Structure 1
Amino acid sequence: MKHRSRKIYGVFYMPVDRKNCPAVIFSHGFNGTNVDFAMNSEYLAGNGVGAYCFDFCGGSVNSKSDLKTSEMSLFTEKEDLCAVIDMIKDRDDVDRDNIFLFGSSQGGLVTALVTEDYIDEIKGILLLFPAFCVTDNWTATFPKIDSIPDTYEFWDVTLGRVFFESIHGYNVFEHIGNFHKNVLIFQGDQDEIATLEYGEKAAKLYPHARMEVFPGEEHGFSEAGNKKVADMTFKFVKENS
């Protein structure tokens, strides 16, 4: 699909011979791709729930969507997810009253921000170790606007000035919490990147949020942890549809 003159690559996972089914839109984390949630999506499709996984524009060195990583920001990713939601809700084989969002790490932060603008359209959200820490971390790294470089290498990804400048001093918690439907947050108690305290702070802002803490899991779950997340995602969809 295309929006704002850029292409978004995505993959549908739909139940066989099932129309008007609930659907989950998966948003990957920093330097991730749509493939990160192939297992989750296949599991859902096999149980009557549709799924769509896509690559954020500039969201990864392996992205099949447009833009360079140096052109990406939280807000270009927000635009991408909004465009995906608008596309999904107009499909004949999707129940537009039962669209769910699932976001991982930075994609979890983007999902939370987007949901505030789509409260009526989204039935529930699931956040996997959401990186609500991103803006605090980068503002601390570059405390002054004039200290932000034109490009910066992070985890082998070249980021541009737009990424840091657009979130400088941005308080995430002032921009989430109005979504009044169910929210499920998956969090590892050994996560040293998106720490428990950030997830707990977010959970307190939502009227109907629950946090599931996974003992021993870090930022990136084990195979067993991921399988549990897939099963809990399916149950969440069924309970809220």
Structure 2
Amino acid sequence: MKKHKFSCKRGGLTIRGNLFQPEGENLPIAILSHGFMANQSTMKGYAQAAAELGFAAFTYDFCGGCLWGRSDGKTTDMSVLTEVEDLKAVIAYASSLSFTDESRIVLIGASQGGFVSALTAAQMGNKIERLVLFYPALCIPDDARKGQMMFAKFDPAEIPSVIRCGPMKLGHVYPEAVMEMDPFKEIAPYQGPVLIIHGSEDKIVDLSYAKRAREAYVQCQLRVVMGAGHGFSKKDDETAIPWMRDFLSESF
């Protein structure tokens, strides 16, 4: 397996990431999207597992989606919807390479990156072969309507132009983009196989969101890591990664 840096464009912004490339041609594509305030390094273990199965696996930093990221963009311009556009740009780039098979694309996302992957799959339909969601943050629209998103608190009736969320500054676009959204209605159009892996003790995204997503999808497996919270430990991944590997292996 080789590891390469790559970059692509979304409008005037540069997205930067890493490609984990196994030997061979016509490689299926796996694109891995990180969570809120995280960066692509948090997806490295999942990318390596996918590459070991024969996928060209791409990790990347969302534009404005990281405290310490390599991609362009301001955190105050970032929203779930801008991240959907980032993911589509990476999909287009990965599909354009001579050694990949653009007809076989898998999306893998964690937390907010899981929500973004689910929205993107719904919009792209049968162009996405499979979908893996680690503790997807389908709570984001509800949190926006409550005026409490992670460490940020605000009046949802009068959203300020800048919202302080711990060490990160968010713009008003972050809650506004999802304020009227029903996430389950948005993700439901995707008809392909879905695997959701969620922690039983998740205090950020309650397990009930994963259960509702399972009902929204046509074909969905929900696997629960007992005792796990939001963001898996190495021990949690020892359970989760084999589930992901088995699910992805079904596509071969």
TM-score, with structure 2 as normaliser: 0.90
Q: What's the CA shift string for 1:140-164, capped at 9, x where partnerless?
A: 115644x211111113211011112
- How high is the sequence identity, in percent, across the aligned residues? 32
Equivalent position to 1:60, from 52, 63, 66: 66
Equivalent position to 2:136, from 130, 133, 143: 130
Structure number with the bigger relative contact order (C-alpha 8 A, sep ≥ 6) is: 1
CA positional deviation for 1:68: 1.1
- Cα 1:117–1:169 change in 2 (3 A) is closer
Q: Which amino acid aligns with 1:175?
A: E
CA contact (8 A) 1:50 1:94 kept: yes
Structure 2 residue 50 is matched with structure 1 residue 39: no
Equivalent position to 1:10, from 2, 6, 17: 17
Structure 2 residue 158 is matched with structure 1 residue 185: no
Larger deviation, residues 214-223 vs 36-45: 36-45
CA positional deviation for 1:193: 1.0
CA distance in 1, matches of 2:126, 2:221: 20
Gaps of 5+ in 2: 1-7, 148-153
CA distance in 2, matches of 1:195, 1:138: 15
Structure 2 residue 148 is matched with structure 1 residue 162: no
1:224 matched residue in structure 2: 235
Q: What's the CA shift string for 1:208-239, capped at 9, x where partnerless?
A: 00100110000011202123322222222220
Number of equivalent positions: 239
Structure 2 residue 156 is matched with structure 1 residue 150: no
Q: CA RMSD, aligned part only?
A: 1.4
CA distance in 1, matches of 2:204, 2:61: 22
Q: Which amino acid aligns with 2:209?
A: Y
CA distance in 1, matches of 2:155, 2:126: 37
Structure 2 residue 221 is matched with structure 1 residue 210: yes
1:29 matched residue in structure 2: 35
Q: Which 4+ runs in 1 deviate beyond 3 A?
A: 142-145
- Cα 1:181–1:144 change in 2 (3 A) is same
Larger deviation, residues 17-26 vs 132-141: 17-26
Q: Which amino acid aligns with 1:194?
A: V
TM-score, with structure 1 as normaliser: 0.94
CA distance in 2, matches of 1:227, 1:94: 29
CA distance in 1, matches of 2:209, 2:116: 15
CA distance in 2, matches of 1:239, 1:96: 18
**Larger strand percent:** 2
Gaps of 5+ in 1: none
Larger deviation, residues 154-163 vs 40-49: 40-49
CA contact (8 A) 1:136 1:169 kept: no
Q: What's the CA shift string for 1:68-119, capped at 9, x where partnerless?
A: 1111011110110111111112222122222100010011111111111111
Structure 2 residue 119 is matched with structure 1 residue 113: yes
1:194 matched residue in structure 2: 205
CA distance in 2, matches of 1:186, 1:13: 23
